[in-house]
Amino acid sequence: MEQDSSRENPSREGASLPGDPPSSALGPSLSQVLHRLTSEESRRGKARSAAIKDLGALIEAAECDQLFEGNDTSLRGMPEMLGQVAKALGKYAAPPKEQEGRAHGYSEVAEKGAAVGVLFLKLMGKIEAAKNSLLCPTWKIGLRHLAGPIYIFAVTHSLEQPWTSPRSRDVAGEVLSLLLRVTQCVSVAGFLHGENEDEKGRFTLVMELLKPDLNKESWKNNPATKHVFSWTLQHVTRPWLNQHLERILPPSLLISDDYQTENKILGVHCLHHIVLNVPAADLLQYNRAQVLYDALFNHLYTPEYNLVQAVLLCLLDLFPVLEKGLHWKGGAARPTTHCDEVLRLILTHMEPEHRLLLRRTYARNLPAFVKRLGILTVRHLKRLERVIVSYLEVYDGPEEEARLKILETLKLLMQCAWPRISCRLVVLLKALLKLICDVARDPNLTPEPVKNALLEEATDCLILLDHCSQGQVKGLLAKILQSCEDSKVQNCIRKVQQVSEGASYDRN
C-alpha cells in the first residue's frame, strides 16, 4: 500500500515526516494517512477514499501498543496523532454549507458518514480490547484525544437531518453507544459532566472543539455544528451548567439572532435551557438577564407563530429572574415589570390579529401571564376585556383551542381582579351568553366533546361572574330562561342558578 501511495505522489506521500513513528509493514504510516486526509491535493478525486481504506486496514492489523504508545519526547506522539486523524475524519464526513447541500444533495455525505463510522467502530473496538486486556495501559491517553472528535461525529450523524440516512444514523448510534461503554458512562449527560462529583466530564473539551465553528463568521460553514451544540447543551443541566456560562451564552445568542426562523427557534431553545438551568444570581451578574430579555423581546414582533411560542415560554421562565433584581418599597406604587411590558405588547398584537395560528399561540399563553401578574392584571383590564370579547366571538376550528384558552383566562382574571369585574358585568355576560348560544346551535362544525368543554367552561365563567357581581347574574338569567327554548342553553342557565342559590353574598 505504501508503494501505491508513493506512486500517487512520491514527493509528498511516500516520505515520512520528521518525528513520525516508524512506518509499519502492515500499511501506510499514520502520519502519511493524516497527510492524505488533510492535504489540498487530496480534495480532488478518490485520494481520500483510498486513505480511508488504508486507515481501516492499518487499524485492523495494528496491535494496541502500536496505536496508543507514542514517543513522549515527540510533539506528535501516536495518541495525539490519532486525535488529529479523528478530527480529519470528522471534517471529511461533515456536511457542506446549506446552499451547496440543497444544490447537490447530501447523499454523498451520508455515505461518507457511514464509512467513517465503521472506522471509528474499529478504533473504539481496539480501545475496548486494550482496556479489557490490561496489557496496554496507554489506551487512556489515546481515548483522551479521541473522545471529543468521535463524540462530535456521532452526534452529527445520529440526528435525523438532511445529510444523514438510516444507515449512517444506525452506524453513528453504534459509535456513540460504544464510546459511552468504553468511557464507562451510563448516559450522554454523564459523559459530558461526569458520572460523579469527582469526575470532570468532557463538556469543556467538546465546546473547545466546537468553538472555532461557533463564531459569527464560521457558524454557518457546517450546518451540523448548531445542532451538535444545541443537542449537547440540552444534556447538561443543574448544577453543572453555570460554570460553562461564558462558553454557551454567546453562541446561543448568535444562533437566535439569525434571519432564518428555524435558527431563531433553535437559539431560543438554547437560551431557554440556560434560563432553566443556571442560577438567577449568575444570570443577573453583568446584566446577562437583561441581555437575554432584550434579545427575546425583539422576536415578539415576528409573525412566525412557532417562534412566538418558543419566546413566550422562555420569557415566562425568565421573569422570576428579572424580578429578583427589582426592589419595591411598600409605600410606593409597584413598578412596571418586564411581564407587564410583554403582556402589553401581546394584547396589542392580539386585537387586530386574524391569522388563526398566531391567535391560538397568543391565547395559549395568556393564562400564564394573568396568573403571573395576579392582581396587577388590573393594569391591563380594559385591553384584556376587548381581547376576551373579540376572541369569544370567532370560531377557531374544530379543536376551539383559542376560545377554550380565552375562557380559562377569563376565569383567572375574575379570580385575581374580582373587585373590578362587576362594572363589566353586562359586556362579559353578553359575550358568554352569545358563545353558549353559538355553540349550542352549531350543527356539525365542532366535535361533541369540544362543545361540552366550551359549554362547561362558559358556565363556570358565568358562576364566577355571578359571585363577582353579588348575585346579579342570577336575576338577569331568570328572564332569559323563560324565553329560551334550546335545551343546552337552559341546562347552562339552570346550573348557574343552582350554584347561585347555594351561595351567600356579603352585601355590606
What is the predicted pLDDT for the residue at 143?
Answer: 87
Q: Is the pLDDT of residue 388 over 60?
A: yes
Cβ distance 96 to 32 under 8 Å?
no
The C-alpha atoms of residue 232 and residue 40 are separated, in whole angstroms, by 31
Q: Give tens-digit pLDDT for 65-90.
A: 666 655 443 334 677 888 888 998 99
For 115-149, give one letter per residue: b (16+ CB within 10 A) or e: bbbebbbebbebbeebbeeeebebbebbbebbbbb
Q: Residue range 14-25: average pLDDT?
A: 40
Domains for the chain: give ranges and CATH numbers.
28-37+44-95+106-184 (1.25.40)
Q: In sequence order, which residues have a C-beta less than 8 Å from that of residue 82 and are 6 or more positions away? A: 30, 67, 68, 123, 142, 145, 146
Cβ distance 176 to 158 under 8 Å?
yes
Q: Residue range 349-354: average pLDDT?
A: 95
Q: Give me the percent of the chain exceeding a pLDDT of 70.
A: 83
Q: Give tens-digit pLDDT for 210-226.
A: 999 999 998 989 999 99
Cβ distance 33 to 55 under 8 Å?
yes
What is the predicted pLDDT for the residue at 497?
Answer: 86
Higher pLDDT, 360 or 103: 360
Q: Tell me the pLDDT band of 15, cut-offs 50, 70 and 90.
A: very low
Q: In sequence order, which residues have a C-beta less than 8 Å from that of residue 3 and are 6 or more positions away? A: none
What is the predicted pLDDT for the residue at 68?
Answer: 63
Q: Residue range 385-413: average pLDDT?
A: 95
Q: Give tens-digit pLDDT for 238-266.
A: 999 999 999 999 999 999 999 999 999 99
What does the DSSP assignment read for 164-176? --HHHHHHHHHHH
Q: Residue range 94-105: average pLDDT?
A: 72
Span of 245-249, 332-336, 356-360 with lowest mean pLDDT:
332-336
The H or E element spanning position 406 is helix 401-416
Q: Which triple of cell numbers denotes residue 444?
A: 356539525
What is the predicted pLDDT for the residue at 140?
Answer: 79
Q: Is the pLDDT of residue 363 over 80?
A: yes
The C-alpha atoms of residue 178 and residue 82 are separated, in whole angstroms, by 17
**Alpha helices, H only, 134-244:** 139-158, 166-182, 188-193, 203-210, 223-234
Cβ distance 274 to 245 under 8 Å?
yes
Q: Tell me the pLDDT band of 101, cut-offs 50, 70 and 90.
A: low
Q: Is the pLDDT of residue 7 over 70?
A: no
Please indicate, yes or no, whether the overall pTM of this predicted structure exceeds 0.85. Answer: yes
